[in-house]
A and B are shown apart, each in its own frame.
Chain A
């Protein structure tokens, strides 16, 4: 296996452990502290489901971009990359507006255990999406300047990272948003 992809896979494995710990913290407190306020009153689940769809679709667009990069088709590759970035940005915007509405309802990181674990878990995921966007932007800039020349390990490894960020959300969404429905 190529060394850059292997390095990214190892990094992703390490990050997975980090998220497992945060998810466990959320689950433990959600299951054991009955005094916490019922989060379903604050969370707008259909809206978040919409933004979740954005993130899932962005994994597919990333894959399309990778295929076009491999076959050396410049314009479609850049277009799919741009689409991925747009979908990622949409997700982050959704998360931002969700945070604003929660804080307006006085749900903060220091209010109760739900706030603490919710903001930590989703916040670190958001940070990872943000870092992914920076990677995608760098990729876009480089490819715009240099042009597309066959298989690029940078594209392959960034897409590993992006799929990972997506997969983490696929766990967070049911655990945080669907579990409150009971």
Chain B
């Protein structure tokens, strides 16, 4: 079959793909696979910067009354750490996976609007660089990633010599990346609606695609809220508008409401594609179909819907009407229900399966446990009095690192180990992978579990140092030492990425025995993705194909031609 196409030898690694060899082919690319790789590579660079800043912070906090960094420097570092991780590292990393795999998993040639896809990527890169340019303005950011007014006002960004422009670069950078994100969101939704394989129904698309599409809808409706808040802030700073100026009757609360109206859906934007990755990995490594496919999809929709109705729980401490407290506390607790459904479905998928603990599966299992811990402290926070006591303490830091680092980053790692062979044509080293996994599990839990207690002991977040009160020195020392273990684990990951690209074992087309369409093409996929698209009769088209081959009497259903010709 297709012998006339396959006369030349198939490229064994992405480095050998003829179409991808020149630098120009990357700079001018509209290929979703190249753009996906560029998204992931760029976000990994920002991730490394974010990790370095985390290491600097933990070093500063290693002992009480430590004066290694000045308070200003520390403020700048935690602000850039937050901004980098949320907007420039994790979100684009997930976007990279979405852009790379959504078309492959639905049997499409590319996304619906390839040029818009390229524009999104370049807006992200340029926006990210603009945000980092604020370092060179003499006054970078020191207001925290949530940028509460009035810390962002002109008065607060003055140093001895001049009015700082760091916040302006931050605003413009975020507006650019935000515009890129909205375009990607449109692209993903339209692609899934328009370009599915000829016989693929909406009830047969892989769960990663389901969650990416819902995620895209969240981006579409949440990012404009941030953009609106940012333009108000920009007008305040540039044209002396009065939105957030209390002296003229304006209120910083408006910023907080607008920011968290974006910010809470944002935390689901940061986790939903991760849920999707795990929903692909767990069935394949348990050799069982996913348990409760429809419930998984519906729970995702429920999470997305509820996430727009919980934002005020970030602001319980600002003081509100009691009815409002009840409504937001209840809606915040309610969101644990669909999330719990997912957790149980993953466990039920593993139940009775023949599980193989490859690195991707290890990361998925650790994710389930760690994310549950993060979820439980989240439910605790939905209780108003607990929130009053613990808000702005290290308990919050521990909580959201359990969801974003122990949650999202672990799912992303699972995604890397699962899909790296497909992207590059080389396997990641399992040996390094297991070393990385255990370093990260111990490092992460050692760093952050104990920080819950720092919060309970009364240590506020975002302070550059702390007095030598009982327990605080011990807790912070332990946390910092484990942070270095975590950092080492992340270095092993980067080493694995690079070494395996050149020296990794060549990957087969379907090394894990996956069932979704991306495994039906070669590793790495040709620029046109598919020579033949297998027929889709269920959520596991490759399984169906295998079964029909085993029954010689039954003719295999016809496959469709790819768009290559």
Contact A109–B225 (Cβ < 8 Å): no
Q: CB distance A10 to B250 under 8 Å?
A: no
Interface residues in A1-50 (C-beta closer than 8 Å to B): 1, 3, 6-7, 10-11, 13-15, 17-18, 21-22, 25, 28-29, 33, 35-36
A110 is an interface residue with CB less than 8 A from chain B:
yes
Majority SS at the chain A contact face: helix
Query: Please, how many angstroms separate the alpha-carbon atoms of A7 and B186 in the complex?
Result: 6
Task: Let me know if A25 and B193 touch, CB within 8 A.
Answer: no
> Chain B interface secondary structure, helix, strand, loop or mixed?
helix
A6, A10, A18, A36: the one contacting B228 at CB < 8 Å is A18
**How far is the CB of A28 from the nearest CB of chain B, in Å?**
7
When distances are taken between beta carbons in the complex, the residues of chain B under 8 Å from A115 are 242
Total residues of chain B contacting the partner, CB 8 A: 33
Contacts of B185 in A (CB 8 A): 10, 14
CA of A116 to CA of B254 in the docked complex: distance in angstroms? 14
Given contacts A29-B249, A116-B241, A116-B243, contact A15 B231 (CB under 8 A): no
Partner of A109, one of B113, B223, B227, B241: B241
Write out the residue numbers on chain B whose beta carbons fall within 8 Å of the beta carbon of A21.
224-225, 228-229, 258, 261
Nearest B residue to A110 via CB reads B240
CB-CB under 8 A from A113, the residues of chain B are: 242, 248-250
Q: Give the most central of B231, B239, B249: most A CB within 10 Å.
A: B249
Q: B221 to chain A: which residues have CB within 8 Å?
A: 13-14, 17
Interface string of A102-120 (1 = CB under 8 A from B): 0000000110110111011
* Residue pair A116, B242 in contact (C-beta under 8 Å): yes
User: Which residues from chain A contact B194 at a C-beta distance below 8 Å?
Assistant: 3, 6
Interface size on A, residues (CB 8 A): 29
B491 at the interface (CB under 8 A from A): no
Contacts of B187 in A (CB 8 A): 7
Bound Cα distance A63, B193 (Å): 26
Given contacts A21-B228, A35-B249, A116-B235, contact A13 B190 (CB under 8 A): no
B243 & A110 in contact (Cβ 8 Å cutoff): no
On whether the beta carbons of B249 and A7 are closer than 8 Å, the reply is: no
CA of A85 to CA of B232 in the docked complex: distance in angstroms? 30
How distant is the Cα of A117 from the Cα of B228 in the complex, in angstroms?
Answer: 12
Residue pair B235, A10 in contact (C-beta under 8 Å): no
> What would be 8 A-B contacts, judged by CB atoms less than 8 Å apart?
A14-B182, A17-B224, A18-B227, A21-B224, A21-B229, A21-B258, A25-B243, A124-B231
What 13 new A-B contacts, CB under 8 Å, besides A113-B250, A120-B232?
A3-B193, A6-B189, A6-B193, A6-B194, A7-B113, A10-B185, A11-B186, A14-B221, A14-B224, A25-B243, A28-B254, A115-B242, A120-B235
